[in-house]
Structure formats: C-alpha cells, structure tokens
C-alpha cells in the first residue's frame, strides 16, 4: 500500500472545495457550459448520453479495502449501484448528478481518492503492472517509479496544458501487463550490464484514429535520470507538437513524422543541452518514496499446503485455480485474479455489493489490498495458498470466479453507444452475446488464450487495434456495422491487427467471430499454438478464406 | 450514428426535435413548445422545416443554465400522433441502455 503525505491530502481537499464552488456557479448560471467544461474535465467529469460520467483515478491500480468500500458507497449513494473499471486503471460512474458531484468527490477525498488528471490535455494517471510488487522475477516494484513521476507531473504547469493528453505506463516484469507499447511513453525497468537499475524508454505508442506501436528511443536511462529524460522528451514534443490539429497533436504523430531516429536524436541533444535542471533523483528521494510503499508481513508458509491438496479433487476449484491463480514472489502465496467478465454480463462492471464483498475478502485474505488491471479485472495480490479453497467458494457466490481470465470471454469493451456520446455503435451487447456463444468453459479452455477487444468508435478506448481479435463499431447509413481485425497484440510483442474483410452488421458479428475461432482451431498446428501465433505463422488469408467462403 | 455534437449547417429531412442534457443532473431532456424542457419525448416541440429547426435550436441554446449541449435529432411520427426516437442513439437516450445490467451471480 502507499501512504499519501500531508501535501497530497491538502491538495486533494483544496481541489474538492474549488470544484464545489465551480459547480455552484455553474448551476446558478454564473458560469456558462463553455467556461465550465474545461473545469469539469479537470475533475474527471464528462457528459455522456444519459448523464454526466465521472472518472476516478486508481493510481497504478492499487486500492485499499477502505478505498474500495468508499467506491461502493459512491456507486450506491450517488449512482445506480454499480461502477465500471476501465482499461487505464480508472473507475467510471455513469449516472452521477452534477449537483451531487462535489459531495461524491469529498467522500472520496477522505480516503485519498481523486479524479485529477483523468481527462483533459494533461499528464494522465501513470499506469503500471497490476501485479507490481508481487510478480516473481520483477526487477523492482515499478510503482515507486510511477509515484515519482506522478509527483513530478501532477499539476506541474508544463504538464497541465500539453498539446494533447499524455499517457505513461511502466512495467518491471518480463511479461508486459501494462501495455507500455501503446502509450505515449512506455518505460521498461531493467538492469544493465553493471547491475544498475534503469529504463528502456519507448515513445510514440497510441491507438485511436492513427494507431502506432511505441518504439525504443533509448535502451537504458539510469533511474536517477528518468525525470530529466522525460522532461527532455516533453520539451521536444512541446516545441514541435501540433496544437493546430487535434488529430495530429499526439506525440505518436510527431514521432512518425520526424522518424524515430531523428526524434531520438533531438531528445538526446535536448537532454544534454538541458544540463542539471534539478531533476536528478538522488538516492534519498527514491528511498523516501520506496519507504511509503508498505508490504505485508508475509508468513513462512509451505509451497503446497494440505488445504490445496485436498481441494484439488474438486474439478471446479481446479479449473478456477489453473485459470485465475498466479505465482507470487513469496512462497506459499498467490495472486488471484477476479474476473469481472461473467457470462452475459457487461465487461468490467462491478456492483456496490460486489465491491463491498471484495473489500471484505481482501481484509480477510489479502492484507486489505486490491489491484485493478488494464484488462478490466480485479486482483487480490497476497493470498495465502491455504486460503484459496475458501476464497474460491466466496468468490463463486459473488459471481467473481468465472474461470475465463485471458480466455475468449475475458473481453475488453468500451462503453459504446449505450453510454458514450461519441459512439458509432454498441460494444457491450456484442461482448455479452459473445460470452454467451462461448459460455462453455471447456470450449474456452480448448481455444486457449484469446483476447477480444471491442471499441464503439475510432477513439479505440477498447483497444481494438491490439486485440487478438479486434472489433470496431462503424456506421453505415445509420446502421451499426463492425470492422473485424485479427492478429493484434498488446504485450511485449505488441502489434496492430489486420482487417479480415468487409464490415458486418450487428446481428452477424458473433457468427463471424465464431467462424474465425473455428478456422483457427482447424488451422493451428498443435493445441498449444495460440490464436495470435497461428495468425502470425499463416497470415490473415487462410482464415479470411474460411470465414468469408460461405458469406 | 453521426455525432450530432457538431451540427454546423442545419438541414433536416424529416420531423425533428431538440434534445439536450439537463444541467443539474445530466438527464435527457427535450425542448418543449412552451420554451421549457421535459424528460418526456412526447412533450417535445416537433419541427418539420430547417428554418423552424434553426429557430428552435437557437432558442434552446440560449437557455444555457437549464440544459447542456442542445442539438437537433430526428423523430418518427406514428399514427395517432405518437412520437418515437428517429434513430438508435436517440432510442437509447430515451429508453436507456440496451444492456441487461443484471450481473448473473
Ligand atoms: C464513456 C466515456 C468515454 C469517452 C467520452 C471517451 C473518449 C475518448 C476519446 C475522445 C479518446 C481519444 C483521444 C485521443 O485519441 O487523443 C479516448 C481514448 C481512450 N480511451 Fe476513452 N472515452 C470514454 C470511456 C473510456 C473507457 C470506459 C475506457 C476504458 C475501458 C477508455 C479508455 C481509453 C483509452 C485507453 C484511450 C486511448 C486509446 C489510445 O491509445 O489512443 N475510455 N477516449
Ligand atoms: S471508443 Fe468511442 S464509443 Fe467507445 S468509449 Fe471511446 S469514444 Fe466512446
């Protein structure tokens, strides 16, 4: 867990009273919508189809049980009893009333939660691996660095008025769970030949209208220099970045237009020319932040407790354990993923009751800590293996033990036309139908790892470009149509998917996806060959032929 | 659905109304003939020419305290004068999400 200091608390409280005053002035007519819009966006408040939408930050995906209970309270008291976990370690409330927002913000501020930098053209919530600090083989806890960057960039004038929004993600593990290659800046923590800790720096990733995978501009920047190096990147961006055209204002476009070598060279020169700008992180500053992350007092526990041996006879438990339980860096403990993707349910939604219950389970089994990942699932990061059987029973009763993590029904979907004022087409009902088609967990197991991502428009909030199967809603003559891509991926081998054929109408999407999956099953050379690997080996053509042959 | 948020040239091709979100709570509202807002589509002022639409929008936009982001949207007029939303977007705004929110336990 992370302990906020006095400065943070004061800042959060000041923001709440400031916003309370702004809302009051808006409701009295003293502020017009045009004047108010930029203020509400600075506090995570959007306007959606049916209501205001309120986006709350969950920095690097770490929540305490107390904070989760407070989110449940907000869902119950100010919303319709549920919230939506997003792909950027945020939670969104869909039905909040403007007049009540200051109260909601104030209730959240009491537990150190805020909505700063969740929207607008500023430095957004710095995201990280949801398994940070517990994943085996991790170089070190990447949240320490997320926090150092957050402190430096929060409300810093230079980062508050960028040409466009700016997103940073950090990973410290071999397998990238933070999707760093689709961020404006992606940072991969590693050690160089001398055993020194630092970052591989990637720049220019992003999806949306013009998708790009980030490219490396420097293989190793020592940790102590990371703030000054980011500063150099932002200076180059601010100098060249196009403020005149919002579609071209993201750093990815600049990197593309200058070319990665030239961009890297410019940054390097800027960095050298900057000299010492007081951004070097000394040992004490790093240790100060490190000391504010506390880790549980783990017990010395056996690798294979009796409870686990006995429960292994229960096939339902075993299926769930194999799917949702992952190795922990401490012997005798596990990381447990809680699927927010029940068959037939909206991906990423959790009810207030579920949030409260998860908070209770976290207190009982995970030292009061919960994690939120970009796949729109939750995790309990420190569960003793002996407690797994009891935890499974409790989660199953709550509808949070669907054994589908990373499988075909673990779908990432944006809110789409059911909520979003920018949408072309619906996303969530497509996801729900697909989970029903693949409801049989044996079939899903047989298919293996397969990520489906759905966005309701080209803004790509559902990351469709990097879905193993990507689904994008478009509009044709007032009807909902969907473009389908295959072969994308968001991990360390990130790649954009390839269009498989003409867009299909709403009613046919699930059929086409079923056909794609069937084609894959027929074409894979062995059961272990994952969908993305088959597409990589064969290309799109053989799958396209099979799917469109009968259409 | 073409985003109606940036309606520049106003040309309507069928019966239309003006809709927005109520400022204090964000609820979907429709401009009435009495220069107010209602949450019922059936209360909305229906216009059939582009001039009328422009005038209704201008009048609605002037009420910046009452509602946010007014725009013109199509309606369907059924026999007996019943008013229905003219496209899926407006259907969802009028009737709510098309999703079954009951998360099966
Ligand atoms: C419902 C209200 C939402 C609105 C109005 C909205 C709007 C937008 C817009 C306009 C962009 C494109 C900005 C750009 O390219 O510069 C964007 C990007 C993005 N949104 Fe949303 N969004 C919404 C909800 C969500 C949700 C629920 C998620 C997560 C599930 C999400 C995740 C993202 C991500 C990850 C991107 C970046 C994609 C990229 O790399 O370009 N958004 N959003
Ligand atoms: S992808 Fe488009 S439809 Fe989906 S949430 Fe983002 S802006 Fe809305």
Same CATH topology for A6-109 and A412-548: the answer is: no
Does A51 touch chain B if contact means CB atoms closer than 8 Å? Answer: yes
Candidates B26, B28, B88; nearest CB to A52 = B26
Verify whether the Cβ–Cβ distance B5 to A421 is below 8 Å: yes
3-state secondary structure at position A109: helix
- Confidence tier at B105 by pLDDT (50, 70, 90): very low
Report whether A441 contacts A404 (CB < 8 A): yes
pLDDT at A211 over 60: yes
Does A416 touch chain B if contact means CB atoms closer than 8 Å? Answer: no
pLDDT at A60 over 50: yes
Give the least confident one: A147-151, A532-536, B86-90.
A147-151
ipTM of the complex: 0.89
What's the mean pLDDT in A207-219?
92
Average pLDDT score over chain B: 88
Verify whether the Cβ–Cβ distance A432 to B89 is below 8 Å: no
Cα A424 to ligand 2 centroid, rounded to whole Å: 8
- Gap between the Cα atoms of A155 and A10, Å rounded: 13
Give all strands (DSSP E) within A110-172, no chain letters: 127-128, 168-171
pLDDT at B1: 43
SS3 sequence, A165-198?
Answer: CECEEEECCCCCCCCHHHCCEEEEEEECCCCCEE
- Confidence tier at A292 by pLDDT (50, 70, 90): confident
pLDDT at A158 over 70: no
pLDDT at B2 over 50: no
- Which of residues A140 and A374 earns the better pLDDT score? A140
Alpha carbon nearest to ligand 1 atom 37, residue: A461
**Dihedral angle sign, alpha carbons of residues A323, A450, A68, A83:** negative
A401: closest chain B residue by CA: B105
pLDDT at A401: 97
Verify whether the Cβ–Cβ distance B1 to A52 is below 8 Å: no
Give the residue extent of every domain in chain A: 6-109, 142-290, 306-398, 412-548
pLDDT digits (tens, 9 = 90+) for B33-64: 999 999 999 999 999 999 999 999 999 999 99
Class of domain A142-290: alpha beta
pLDDT digits (tens, 9 = 90+) for A73-132: 999 999 999 999 987 778 999 999 999 999 999 999 999 887 766 555 566 678 888 899
Q: Which residues of B touch A417 (CB under 8 A)?
A: 1, 88-89, 92
Going by C-alpha positions, the residue among A532, A368, A548 that lies closest to residue A1 is A368
Verify whether the Cβ–Cβ distance B88 to A98 is below 8 Å: no
Is the distance from the beta carbon of residue A419 to the nearest atom of ligand 1 less than 6 Å? yes
3-state secondary structure at position A376: coil
pLDDT digits (tens, 9 = 90+) for A470-523: 999 999 988 999 999 999 998 888 899 999 999 999 999 999 999 999 999 999
pLDDT digits (tens, 9 = 90+) for A293-303: 889 999 999 99
Report whether B53 contacts B72 (CB < 8 A): yes
CATH fold group of domain A306-398: Sulfite Reductase Hemoprotein; domain 2 (3.90.480)
What's the mean pLDDT in A145-167?
73
Percent of chain A with pLDDT strictly greater than 70: 94
- Gap between the Cα atoms of B41 and B104, Å rounded: 32
What is the number of residues in chain B? 105
Average pLDDT score over chain A: 91
Give the residue extent of every domain in chain B: 10-95
Q: Rounded to a whole number, what is the distance in Å from the CA of A463 to chain B's nearest CA?
A: 20
pLDDT at A41 over 90: no
pLDDT at A1 over 80: no
- Confidence tier at A164 by pLDDT (50, 70, 90): low
pLDDT digits (tens, 9 = 90+) for A322-358: 999 999 999 999 999 999 999 999 999 999 999 999 9
pLDDT at B104: 41
Q: What residues have CB less than 8 Å from A35, skipping those under 6 apart?
A: none
Give the least confident one: A151-165, A168-182, A285-299, A496-510.
A151-165
Burial class (CB in 10 A: 0-12, 13-18, 19+), A167: buried
pLDDT digits (tens, 9 = 90+) for A376-417: 999 999 999 999 999 999 999 999 999 999 999 999 999 999
Specify the residue for token string 């069937």.
A518
Candidates A26, A351, A426; nearest CB to B103 = A351
* Ligand with smallest separation from the Cα of A55: 1
Q: Alpha helices of chain B — where are they, by DSSP H? A: 50-62, 88-95
pLDDT at A3: 62
Verify whether the Cβ–Cβ distance B93 to A49 is below 8 Å: yes
pTM, to two decimals: 0.90
Q: Which residues line ligand 2 (CB under 6 A)?
A: A 414-416, 420, 422-423, 455-457, 459-462
pLDDT at B6: 53
Does B23 touch chain A if contact means CB atoms closer than 8 Å? Answer: yes
Cα A244 to Cα A241, A249, A250, B25, distances in angstroms: 9, 7, 11, 34
Class of domain A6-109: alpha beta
CATH superfamily of A412-548: Sulfite Reductase Hemoprotein, domain 1 (3.30.413.10)
Give the least confident one: A119-133, A435-449, B9-23.
A119-133
A97: closest chain B residue by CA: B25
Give the H/E segment covering residue A216.
strand A215-222
Q: Rounded to a whole number, what is the distance in Å from the CA of A547 to chain B's nearest CA?
A: 27
């Amino acid at each position: 867990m992370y302990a906020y200091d006095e400065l943070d608390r004061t800042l959060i409280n000041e923001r709440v009273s400031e916003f309370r005053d702004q809302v009051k002035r808006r409701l009295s007519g003293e502020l017009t919508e045009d004047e108010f819009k930029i203020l509400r966006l600075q506090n995570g408040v959007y306007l959606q189809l049916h209501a205001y939408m309120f986006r709350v930050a969950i920095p690097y995906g770490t929540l305490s049980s107390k904070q989760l209970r407070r989110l449940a309270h907000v869902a119950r008291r100010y919303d319709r009893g549920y919230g939506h976990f997003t792909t950027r370690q945020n939670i969104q409330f869909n039905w909040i009333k403007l007049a009540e927002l200051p109260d909601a913000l104030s209730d959240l501020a009491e537990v150190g939660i805020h909505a700063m930098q969740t929207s607008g053209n500023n430095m957004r919530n710095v995201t990280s691996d949801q398994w940070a600090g517990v994943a085996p083989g991790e170089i070190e806890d990447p949240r320490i660095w997320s926090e150092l960057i957050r402190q430096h960039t929060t409300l810093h004038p230079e980062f508050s008025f960028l040409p466009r929004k700016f997103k940073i993600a950090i990973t410290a593990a071999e397998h990238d769970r933070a999707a760093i290659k689709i961020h404006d800046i992606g940072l991969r923590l590693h050690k160089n030949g001398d055993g020194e800790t630092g970052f591989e720096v990637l720049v220019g990733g992003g999806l949306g209208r013009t998708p790009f995978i980030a490219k490396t501009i420097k293989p190793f920047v020592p940790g102590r220099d990371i703030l000054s190096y980011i500063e150099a990147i932002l200076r180059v961006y601010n100098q060249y970045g196009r403020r005149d055209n919002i579609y071209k204002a993201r750093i990815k476009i600049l990197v593309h237009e200058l070319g990665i070598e030239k961009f890297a060279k410019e940054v390097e020169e800027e960095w050298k020319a900057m000299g010492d700008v007081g951004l070097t992180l000394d040992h004490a500053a790093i240790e100060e932040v490190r000391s504010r992350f506390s880790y549980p007092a783990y017990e010395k526990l056996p690798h294979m407790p009796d409870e686990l041996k006995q429960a292994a006879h229960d096939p339902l438990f075993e299926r769930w354990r194999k799917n949702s339980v992952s190795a922990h860096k401490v012997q005798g403990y596990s990381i447990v993923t809680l699927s927010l993707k029940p068959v037939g349910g909206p991906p990423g939604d959790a009810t207030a009751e579920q949030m409260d219950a998860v908070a209770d389970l976290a207190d009982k089994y995970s030292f009061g800590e919960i994690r939120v990942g970009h796949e729109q699932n939750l995790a309990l990061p420190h569960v003793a293996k002996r407690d797994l059987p009891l935890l499974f029973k409790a989660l199953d009763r709550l509808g949070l033990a669907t054994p589908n993590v990373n499988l075909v029904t673990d779908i990432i979907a944006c809110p789409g036309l059911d909520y979003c004022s920018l949408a072309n087409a619906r996303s969530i009902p497509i996801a729900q139908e697909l989970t029903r088609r693949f409801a049989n967990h044996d079939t899903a197991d047989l298919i293996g790892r397969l990520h489906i991502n759905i966005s309701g428009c080209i803004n790509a909030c559902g990351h469709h470009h990097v879905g193993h199967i990507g689904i994008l809603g478009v509009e044709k003559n007032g009807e909902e149509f969907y473009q389908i891509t295959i072969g994308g991926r968001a991990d360390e081998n990130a790649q954009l998917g390839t269009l498989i054929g003409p867009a299909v109408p709403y009613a046919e999407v699930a059929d086409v996806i079923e056909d794609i999956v069937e084609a894959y099953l027929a074409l894979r050379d062995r059961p272990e060959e994952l969908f993305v690997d088959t597409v990589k080996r064969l290309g799109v053509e053989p799958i396209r032929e099979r799917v469109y042959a009968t259409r | 659905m073409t985003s109606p948020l940036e309606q520049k040239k106003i040309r309507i091709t069928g019966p239309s109304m003006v809709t927005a979100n109520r400022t204090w709570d964000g609820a979907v509202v429709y401009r009435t003939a009495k220069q107010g807002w209602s949450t019922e589509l059936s209360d909305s002022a229906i216009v059939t020419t582009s001039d009328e639409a422009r005038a209704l929008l201008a009048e609605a936009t002037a009420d910046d305290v009452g509602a946010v982001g007014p725009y013109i949207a199509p309606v369907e007029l059924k026999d007996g004068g019943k008013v229905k939303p003219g496209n899926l977007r407006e259907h969802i705004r009028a009737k709510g999400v098309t999703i079954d929110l009951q998360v099966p336990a």
